[in-house]
Structure 1
Amino acid sequence: MTNVIEQALTKLSQLPENQQEAIAYLILAEIEDEKKWAENFANSQDQLAQLADEAIAEFKQGKTQPLQHFSV
């Protein structure tokens, strides 16, 4: 365990139990979200490659415009 995690857990242990629970649920949710994102990204490589190929083909066909042509 890293020093930062140990420091966070020490501070967390000093909070009231209901705050500890709330923060623990936030941490668990964040870990689960990160896991899902990593899995989705890993499983999308073929689709991302296909989209990149399509973008390159459109660029070569002159179907794209520089980004400065679009204003926000």
Structure 2
Amino acid sequence: MSTVQEIEAAIKRLPREEFLKLHARLQRRFDDEWDQQMKADAKAGRLDHLAGEAIADYRAGGTKPFPPDEKPRHR
């Protein structure tokens, strides 16, 4: 198996088009892993406190419409 340093050296030698393909593949993998982690955290309840804080802030009037020119919804 190659070391990270060997892989980095090989990446530096890639033509631009191949480098961009590699980047896209790695980005997809990173995004997929991030999505899986977020789903696992949500399922385990590790994000519940954040949702609670956001709802409380909204109910207390501490939020702004987005986009900014959108009218606030009824609370």
TM-score normalised by structure 2 residue count: 0.50
Post-superposition shift, 1:45?
Answer: 2.4
Q: 1:1-72 to 2 correspondence within 5 Å? A: 4-45=3-44
Post-superposition shift, 1:43?
Answer: 0.8
The structure in which a higher percent of residues are helix is 1
Cα distance between partner residues in 1 of 2:34 and 2:6: 24
Q: Deviations over 1:26-70 (max 9, x none)?
A: 111111110110010111126xxxxxxxxxxxxxxxxxxxxxxxx
Segments of 5+ residues of structure 1 without an aligned counterpart are: 47-72
Could you list the runs of 4 or more consecutive aligned residues of structure 1 that deviate by over 6 angstroms after TM superposition?
Answer: none
Letter of the structure 1 residue corresponding to residue 37 of structure 2: A
Letter of the structure 2 residue corresponding to residue 8 of structure 1: I
Identity %: 9
How many residues get paired?
44
Which secondary structure state, in structure 1, belongs to the residue aligned with residue 14 of structure 2? coil
The Cα RMSD (Å) is 1.8
